[in-house]
Amino acid sequence: MISLSYFLVFAAALFCIGLYGVLARKNAIAVLMGIELMLNAVVINLIAFWRFRTPEMIAGQAFGVIVFAVAAAEVAVGLALFIAIFRRRNTIAADEIDLLKW
């Protein structure tokens, strides 16, 4: 019989793969893809906890819907920033965007 552990381990793995993408990739859009994977892992956890622990309450699903909105807002602004940076500096490699360090 399937238990909560399956989904938690799966979500943890997805989260860590996403984290690797965020930390290791050079291209900023690839970094954003990693963040998307991490957010998806979070929503899986929310839904899994709802399904296994409190199926009579709706909190998990309501939180999940809000996370969707946040993810969309994050992608929209993030990609807009990359496009603006690309227009000015002709690069979106994350380690070359370093104007703020001084």
Partner 1 sequence: MTVFQAIFLVVAVVTLGGAVMVVTVRNLIHAALWLILSLFGVAVMYGLLSAPFFTVIQVVIYIGAIAILMIFAIMLTRRVAQEPGSSVNKGWWMAGLMSLVLFTALVWMFSTWSGFQTTLPQLPEGIDTIKVLGTALVSPDGYVIPFEIASVLLLAALIGAVVVAWERKT
Partner 2 sequence: MLNDWIFIGVFLILAPIFPAAALLIPRLIAPRKPNPLKTETYECGIETYGETRVQFKAQYYIFALVFLIFDIEVVFLYPWAVAFDQLPMFAVLEGVLFILILVAGLLYTWRKGVLEWA
Cβ-contact 8, 44 below 8 angstroms: no
Q: At what angle do helices 59-89 and 28-52 cross, to 10 degrees?
A: 180
Stretch binding partner 2 (CB under 8 A), from 2-10, 18-26, 74-82, 92-100: 74-82
Q: Does 23 bind partner 1 (CB under 8 A)?
A: yes
Cβ-contact 55, 7 below 8 angstroms: no
Q: Does 25 bind partner 1 (CB under 8 A)?
A: yes
Residue list 36-65, contact with partner 1 (CB under 8 A): 36-37, 40, 43-44, 47-48, 50-53, 55-56, 58, 61-62, 64-65
Measured distance between the N- and C-terminal CA atoms of the chain, rounded to whole angstroms: 57
Q: Does 101 bind partner 2 (CB under 8 A)?
A: no
Nearest approach in angstroms of CB 45 to partner 1 is 10
Q: At what angle do helices 28-52 and 4-24 cross, to 10 degrees?
A: 170
Which residues form the interface with partner 2 (CB under 8 A)?
Answer: 65, 68-69, 72, 75-76, 79-80, 83, 87
